[in-house]
Structures are given as C-alpha cells and as structure tokens.
Structure 1
Amino acid sequence: MNAIENPLVTAYLAAVERETAVLPVDRRAELLADLREHIEVSETDDEDRLRQVLAELGDPRTVAASALAEEPPVPATAPAAPATAPAAPAGHGTRTRLTVGLLAGAGILVLLNSYVGTLALIAGLVLLWTSGHWGTRPKVIATAACAAVPVALLLGAFLLAGGRLGAVELLVIAATSLLVPILGAVALLRAARR
C-alpha cells in the first residue's frame, strides 16, 4: 500500500478538504494536490514516519488557515436587501378598510350632506390611488363606480331644475347613489383578497 492509500493520509486530506470548503474549487484542488505530492515524495509506508510527515505539514486547520490567508480578499458584496415583511392578509388592513368604507359610504353621505360626502369621496379616491394594494383595473372600476354618485346627482339636479324629474326618477338617483359605490367597494374587497 502506498502512502496516499493509508487511512491516516486519507483522514488528513479529508480534514483539510473540509476546512478549506470556502476556498474556490480550483484553489482547493491545487492545495490538496500539493499535499498529496508532498506525501508521495516522502516515499514511506512506515506509519510512524507517515505521522511525522503529516505533522510537518501541519494541523489541517492550520493548513486551511494559511491557504485562506493567501487568498485575495473577496470583494464585499452589498448586503442583501432585507426581505419585505409579508403583507397583512388581503382586505384586513386599516387603510384598506378605511378606503373601502369611505368609497362605499360616499353615496349616502353625498345625499345627506354634499360637502361631507364630497370630502369622503375625495379622501377615499386619494387613499385608493396612492395605495399599492390594488392594481390599476380595480382602481379604475372603483373610481368609475364612485364617480357615478356626483354624476347622477348633477344629472338629477339639472333634470329637477328643468321640471322633468318625478318621484320615480328621484328614487332611481338615490338608489344609484347608494348601490353603485357599494358595488365598487365590493369589487375592491374582492380584488384585495386575490
């Protein structure tokens, strides 16, 4: 049996390989080849002499530390961006509830007090469009649904002033002012859950 096949040498080289795992593969292979060559050059089968050769090479940790010290410094990489915290369950955030509530209630608020209703509508739309929670399509649908309230009221006021509006038309305008924003809010909630 030659020196390289000896269990002492095999264990020694395996320990050096483990300790140098952070070295580039080619550099580690070169180091292990150099160690094997040094051991082979000793041309000994005597276990005592083999132990002495391995001791002269040094402890595997010392050999690894020397090899690592000879390596050029690895360029520092930018720290990885921290993982973003998972979003709160869709549709459950305070901002989401506030946005949906303002948009759903805008219709009735406009009917009760046009100033308060208009402010609620504007606030809801601002919250909606500045939120990253929804995509463009749900935002457009909700905006169109909520914009139906002032359009219906303006149309109703115009027709009422012309004397062309009766009780049924007023009920249709009131129902539109209440239901369409609620439908828009429901669409937002569904989009938030996806």
Structure 2
Amino acid sequence: MNAIDHPLVTAYLDAVARETSELPAERRAELLADLREHVEVSGAETDIQVRRVLDGLGDPRAVAGAALAEESATAPAVRPGRTRLTVVLLAVAGLLVLFNSFVGAAAMLVGLALLWGSPQWSTRQKAIATVACAAVPFVVVLAVLSLYGSRIGPMELLVLAGLSLAVPVAGATVLSRAARR
C-alpha cells in the first residue's frame, strides 16, 4: 500500500483540512499538497513508519494553527469601512442606473473596483457578485433601449426597479456574509 493511501494519512489530511477551513481555498490546497508530498517522499510502508512520519509533521491542530497564523501575518488588513462601502455601492448601483445612468454606472464601477481590489473575497465570490450586481442593470438598460419607442407603463417600471434592486442586494448580501467569516 502506498503511504498516501493509508487510512491514517487520510484521517490526518482530513483533520488538517477541517482545521484550516478558514484559510483561502488556494492556500489550504497548497498546504494539503505539501503534506501529501512529504508523506509520499518519506517512503513509509508500515503502520509504524506512517505513524512516525505523521508524528514528525505534528498534530493536525498545530499544523493548522501555524498555517492560519502565517496567513493572518501575510494577509493585508481588511478595513470594515471599505467593506461596507463596497457592499452598499454594489447593492444600490442597479437601482441608481434606472434613475440616473451616469451616477449608477459610476457607483457600480467604483464598487466593482473596490471589490476586485479587496483580498477578503475569493475570485469565485467576486465573479458571482460582479454578475449579480452588473447583469440586471445591463439587461434593464438594453430592454429600455429596445423599447425606446414604446411606452413603458408603471407596472413594467416597478418590475424593472424591483429586479434592479433585488438581484444586486442579493449579491451584496452574499459578499457581506462572506466578509464576516
């Protein structure tokens, strides 16, 4: 049996993964790959050899604690005011586009610049928030332009306003929750 397939190694790596759930996904994957490589290179074959290798690595909590401490020491400080500003701008930008397209577009661009410049959200979260905050106003503007000659009634305007507010607010809520973690 290859050492990496040993049940003790699997349990050890699972424990490290659980303990490092607060790490960014890329950093956690890198740590686990390094640990796997160390076990593979050791050439351990027996239970005793595998236990020695794992003991040499240290307790999973200690390994995770060191990785978390290293991450917090190298991560730039997150400013709560900037986080709130980013979330608020992205939440209201869609609605602002309906009332004043220049102000709405400016709010959205500033919000997206703050979002993508922030280290606290993953690339996936940033992409989802970008789509949620920019897609609906974009579609609304296209719809209004295509219906330029036709009359838009109060009910259609209300639906457009509701969508322009609800979808970006949902995206901003996801960002806000992710920032609290």
Q: How many pairs does the alignment contain? A: 111
Equivalent in the alignment of 2:104? 117
Identity %: 55
Further displaced range: 166-175 or 118-127:
166-175
Q: Deviations over 1:128-163 (max 9, x none)?
A: 011101001211111011112332322331342252
1:41 aligns to what?
none
Aligned mate of 2:147, from 127, 149, 160: 160
**Match among 99, 111, 119 for residue 86 of structure 2:** 99
- Aligned-residue RMSD, C-alpha: 2.6
Tell me the equivalent position of 1:108: 95
Distance in 1, matches of 2:87 and 2:76, equals 18
Distance 2:104 2:110 in 1: 10
Name the amino acid aligned to 1:172.
V
TM-score by length of 2: 0.53
The 3 A distance-change label for structure 1 pair 166 and 84 is same
**Partner residue, 2:32:** none
Contact 1:152 1:173 in 2 (8 A): no
Is the Cα–Cα contact under 8 Å of residues 76 and 119 in structure 2 kept in the other structure? no
- Residue 73 of structure 2 aligns with an amino acid whose one-letter code is T
* Amino acid paired to 1:132: P
The letter of the residue matching 2:135 is A
Q: Hey, what does 2:167 align to over in structure 1?
A: 180
Q: Which residue of 2 aligns with 1:141?
A: 128
Contact 1:148 1:177 in 2 (8 A): no
Which one of the candidate residues 132, 156, 173 is aligned to 1:169? 156
Unaligned runs of 5+ in 1: 1-80
> Does 1:191 pair with 2:167?
no
Deviations 1:104-145 (A, max 9, x none): 121222222111110010000011011101001211111011
SS in 2 for 1:163: coil
**Cα distance change, pair 169–94 in 1 and its aligned pair in 2 (3 A):** same
Q: Return the offset for 1:186.
A: 0.2
TM-score, with length taken from structure 1: 0.50
Distance of 1:124 and 1:178 partners within structure 2: 15
